[in-house]
Amino acid sequence: MRKFYFTIVALLFSAVAFSQGTITGTVVDSDGPLPGANVMVQGTSNGVATDFDGNFKIDVAANQGTLVVSYIGYISKKVSFTKTGAIGSIALEPNAEELEGIIVTGMQDVAKDRKTPVAVSTIMASDIQEKLGSQELPEILNTTPSVYATKSGGGFGDGRVNIRGFDTNNSAVMINGVPVNDMENGAVYWSNWAGLSDVTSAIQVQRGLGSSKLAVSSVGGTINVITKSSQNPEGGVIGATVGNDGYVKTLASYSSGVLDNGFSASMLLSRTGGSMYADGTDFEGYNYFMGLGYTAGDHSFEFMVTGAPQWHNQRGRATSISTQILYGDGDGEPNRKYNESWGYLDGEEFTFSGNYYHKPVISLNWSWDINDKTTLETSTYASFGRGGSLGEIGEIGGVRQFSLPRTSDGLVRVDDIRDYNSGIAVADFNNGNPREQIDGLFVNNSDLNANSDNTDGITRRSSLNSHNWYGMLANFNNRISDKLTLDFGFDIRTYKGYHYRRVENRLGGDVYQQTDDRNNPVGEGATNLFTETYSGSQPWWVFGDIDKQEKIDYYNIGYVNWLGAFAQAEYNFTEDITGFVQGALSNQGFAREELFGTAPPEKTDYENIIGGNIKGGLNWNIDEHHNVFANGGYYEKQPLFDAVYLNFGNNLNPDLTNEKVVGFELGYGFRSSKFRGNVNLYTTSWKDRFQSVTATFNADQPDEVRGTANLLGITQVHSGIEFDGRYQVTNNLSFSGMVSIGDWEYKDDVSATFFDNDQSPIVIDGVEQSQTLSLDGVKVGDAAQFTAFIGADYQIIDNLSVDLGYRHADNLYAQFDITSIDENGSLKLPSFGLADAGVSYGFAIGESRLSLRLNVNNVFDTTYIAESDTNDFVEAGDDTYDGINVSNRVFFGFGRTWNASFRVNF
């Protein structure tokens, strides 16, 4: 209906204009035509919209003048004409400030170009839809400064991302301004959000402390994913993608537009399935999104629900280079697809490492324009996460699953494990001895002492990490004058997390014996022989009762309450100088309930910890081309849950202290009709970190003890310089690039206190054992400290374009066991460079548009190490690969992959 009205109005404009001629042209961005862009004659109301091919035709009353071309999410452009006729292509560039035109109602923290004094990169929906393909959502950020995103184990949704050397446990991830980091450990599991790429309007990355008003712990930066709104224009999309290894994705969406009664709706459904690049990584995932909007006078409401139920098989851990070479083609090169976590059971793929989860998020956003100067925005939300991970538990003859003899191609012999568990002798399992029965049953368990010959059987278990999460955000915005704007608000959250294990498959065993619940101990009258199994492949229903599920190994509940308040003042000193200062104060309350480890079950009191931050910045637009900015801030960041209660018990940390974060940043920007560029310098100091890690005390000594180590007072300093830019050579050709150089190091030595596997302090001669670790000057691992990218986009002819990109990563160090650091420091991995390419073609079909896309990632099939879990240096006589000791457990990056897609917009 809106398109019909617009057409009638355009015709009336044409009829009344004193026409001297007609101008034709095409409006494009870096990826091709922009349908629906506005083309106006400056100083008049004469305007038209581009068609589905980006073409326009406008009658003008004079043979000279200026056209103003605009499109939501892009910088408006003025184009002069001195004659009528064809004017050619007009290229628009994305603009972060224009994001306000596409965001949903409710809380938002969007940085504005040449106004908000922070380092920021924004990826628009067009780039995500075109170039992401079958990659993980965080990987689209790899072309922005100081970001290192990998696929980790390579399972569906297993990607991870670091910003300026900090992982997402210590950087904020938000969806429409609502934080989604786990409230216990800060983690973000991208498999829970695998469908976000379908509904994303833009992703904005604010590096450093950022400008978010919320009391979020954004040490490295803030990733804000802005989803589609119910108020999208009327229309829809049907699309499909196919790729390597049987990857298939289908989707359909529709938006009603805003109806005459003020209501609007937007819906999307998609399914993705197949296998990832690595062997044994089958998966299936769905995505749904529904947005309902209503506008009445000064009030706007947006109700949204989105979720992505999925299951996927994984590579459970990194594998040594030597093993990957062993199962290669015999040419000394590693088998990059090798996965040690799977095999076949009765001819079907069976994994000992997988994940299944469903985490729907429901939100109601309300915006009230109280008057022309005052606005109240609120977001009320709830999340119900259900699911967990698959793994193995138990041993055969004292040997765990991953160390048992394998097939000739390195697969787990699952059929043989099932046979052994059911009493059949297997020649090379447990020295060929068959399994013994206990009271006529083949009993699986995890306690070596429960069976005299140490043959306790191997079981596939699920480790559950479910939660109920409720929250509310509110922001009161008051534009006191043309110069001063004040914001006040609060952030309330409550979280309850359930942690336990259950039996997923006994693999031939008759029962599973629970040996860890002190409230149901082994012995006469105990009811600890379980026969129930639970499938983890369909995690759709999130409201089921977990109380009656049979639990093994551990069962505890974590409670986190958060109450935060924030305020911000933004002041325009002049038309060109803008500054802000903001502060936040929060109380985080932590409690833990132990249902297995104590008899009777015990819940702690809440441990309340006060934290907060203060930060500010200033931006000066020197002229229309140049601007400079500076910002700084200080955080008192509450520790994560595992630092509050130690050693997997109700043991309150006696040395509990807030982490201290100090950050400073300077930036410079340049804007012209052809070139946009930014330079940023930053430094971030992060002190008083606590970390609990798996460790071995007196390794390789007669009194060796395996357990954990608690590390106190860790300090990291991350400094660097960043550059990014884009150059529009012609209307058809543009280049983009970035370079980031980081220097991320640990500072000062650290004290470690050791505990055994029973979580008791290791005591020798009456003295609790501790150790000073020489961390001063050691490089921070797990993210490349030097990254660079150069890309080119070229429109060959109307509707046909190609793009090429090359990314280089260097100064990448291993993610090491911090207790094993010696004089060698951290292991530097080989640098690598990857090339990607894509081609797009689109054309109109009636009033619809068909878009075709082909992506090829890692065009040259480069072999590279994306990450290492170990820190083994080369010693005399050691075998090496690319200069690295082959004993290191690493994940190689994916080889050449491809995907092809089509989309029909109607």
Distance CA 860, CA 895 (A): 8
Most confident of 50-54, 256-260, 306-310, 527-531: 306-310
Alpha-helical runs (H) found in 682-783: none
Secondary structure E strands in 396-483: 443-444, 457-479
Most confident of 49-58, 169-178, 720-729: 720-729
Pick the residue with more confidence: 544 or 574?
Answer: 574
Pick the residue with more confidence: 301 or 31?
Answer: 301
Q: What is the CA radius of gyration of the chain?
A: 29
CB atoms within 10 A of CB 803: 22
Nearest one of 590, 509, 506 to 556, comparing CA atoms: 590
Distance CA 541, CA 387 (A): 10
Give residue 12's pLDDT: 37
Give the percent of the chain with pLDDT over 90: 58
Tell me the two tokens of residue 19.
């026409």
Distance CA 214, CA 431 (A): 60
Give residue 700's pLDDT: 61
Q: 179 pLDDT band (50/70/90 cuts)? A: confident
Pick the residue with more confidence: 480 or 673?
Answer: 480
Distance CA 760, CA 652 (A): 14
Which residues have a Cβ under 8 Å from the Cβ of 81 and sit 6 or more positions away? 23, 60, 63, 64, 65, 66, 67, 87
Chain centroid, CA 219 distance in Å: 15
CA distances to 70, 189, 283 from 155, in Å? 41, 12, 8
Which residues have a Cβ under 8 Å from the Cβ of 261 and sit 6 or more positions away? none
Q: Which whole number is the average pLDDT over 46-65?
A: 77
Give the model confidence (pLDDT) of 447-495 as tens digits.
655 444 545 899 999 999 999 999 999 999 999 998 999 999 999 999 9
Distance CA 248, CA 66 (A): 47
Q: 824 pLDDT band (50/70/90 cuts)? A: confident
Residue 403, SS3?
helix
Give residue 160's pLDDT: 92
- 328-337, 354-363, 656-665, 758-767: lowest mean pLDDT where? 758-767
Give the model confidence (pLDDT) of 684-707 as tens digits.
999 998 887 777 676 666 666 767
Strand-pair partners of 616: 581, 632
Give residue 36's pLDDT: 63
User: Does the pLDDT value for residue 756 go beyond 80?
Assistant: no
Secondary structure E strands in 672-766: 675-697, 705-728, 733-747, 750-756, 763-764
Dihedral sign for Cα 65, 71, 76, 77, please: negative
Q: Which whole number is the average pLDDT over 620-641?
A: 94
Tell me the two tokens of residue 784.
């490349």
Nearest one of 732, 626, 727 to 673, comparing CA atoms: 727
User: Does the pLDDT value for residue 29 go beyond 80?
Assistant: no
pTM: predicted TM-score of the whole model, two decimal places: 0.86
Q: 60 pLDDT band (50/70/90 cuts)? A: confident
The upper half-sphere exposure of residue 81, i.e. CA atoms within 13 Å in the direction of its Cβ, equals: 28
Tell me the two tokens of residue 486.
């004040």
Environment class of 525 (CB within 10 Å of its CB; exposed 0-12, middle 13-18, buried 19+) = exposed
Residue 898, SS3?
strand
The length of the chain in residues reads: 906
Q: CB–CB of 437/423 below 8 Å?
A: yes
Say which DSSP state 412 is in.
B
Q: CB–CB of 791/805 below 8 Å?
A: yes
CB atoms within 10 A of CB 544: 11
Give residue 357's pLDDT: 93
Place of tokens 């986190």: 560
Give residue 702's pLDDT: 66
Distance CA 123, CA 200 (A): 10
User: Does the pLDDT value for residue 341 go beyond 90?
Assistant: yes
CA distances to 606, 638, 648 from 562, in Å? 12, 11, 22
Nearest one of 690, 665, 702 to 680, comparing CA atoms: 665
Pick the residue with more confidence: 105 or 261?
Answer: 261
Distance CA 103, CA 606 (A): 37
Q: Which whole number is the average pLDDT over 71-86?
A: 79
Nearest one of 72, 83, 107, 75 to 25, comparing CA atoms: 83
Distance CA 652, CA 579 (A): 42
Give residue 4's pLDDT: 37
Q: CB–CB of 530/511 below 8 Å?
A: yes
Tell me the two tokens of residue 751.
């004290």
User: Does the pLDDT value for residue 778 go beyond 70?
Assistant: yes
Q: CB–CB of 94/122 below 8 Å?
A: yes
Distance CA 91, CA 169 (A): 39
Cα torsion at 534, 535, 541, 543 (round to 10°)? 20
User: Does the pLDDT value for residue 526 go beyond 80?
Assistant: no
Q: Which whole number is the average pLDDT over 49-54?
A: 68
Per-residue exposure over 114-125, b if at least 16 CB sit within 10 Å of its own CB, e if not: bbbbbbbbbbbb
Q: 145 pLDDT band (50/70/90 cuts)? A: very high
Q: Which whole number is the average pLDDT over 752-780?
A: 79
Give the percent of the chain with pLDDT over 70: 90
The one-letter amino acid at 475: N
Give the model confidence (pLDDT) of 567-599 as tens digits.
999 999 998 999 999 999 999 999 999 999 777
- 179-183, 242-246, 605-609, 714-718: lowest mean pLDDT where? 179-183
Distance CA 866, CA 398 (A): 33
- 188-202, 491-505, 603-617: lowest mean pLDDT where? 188-202
Give the model confidence (pLDDT) of 112-144 as tens digits.
888 889 999 988 887 888 888 889 989 999 999
779's enclosing H/E stretch is none
CB atoms within 10 A of CB 902: 15
Place of tokens 């930053």: 682
Residue 478, SS3?
strand
Pick the residue with more confidence: 758 or 609?
Answer: 609
Give the model confidence (pLDDT) of 286-329 as tens digits.
999 999 999 998 999 999 999 999 999 999 899 999 999 999 99
Mean pLDDT of the chain: 87
Distance CA 587, CA 565 (A): 9
Distance CA 672, CA 192 (A): 40
Give residue 492's pLDDT: 95
Nearest one of 741, 814, 775 to 164, comparing CA atoms: 741
Give residue 72's pLDDT: 56
Tell me the two tokens of residue 405.
């003899």
Distance CA 350, CA 537 (A): 12
Q: 68 pLDDT band (50/70/90 cuts)? A: confident
Chain centroid, CA 613 distance in Å: 24
Tell me the two tokens of residue 603.
């819940």
The one-letter amino acid at 781: G
Q: 804 pLDDT band (50/70/90 cuts)? A: very high
User: Does the pLDDT value for residue 153 go beyond 80?
Assistant: yes
Q: 88 pLDDT band (50/70/90 cuts)? A: confident
- 286-300, 421-435, 793-807, 811-825: lowest mean pLDDT where? 811-825
- DSSP states of 627-661 as a string? EEEEEEEEEEEPPPHHHHEETTTTEE-TT---EEE
Give residue 404's pLDDT: 94
Give residue 744's pLDDT: 97
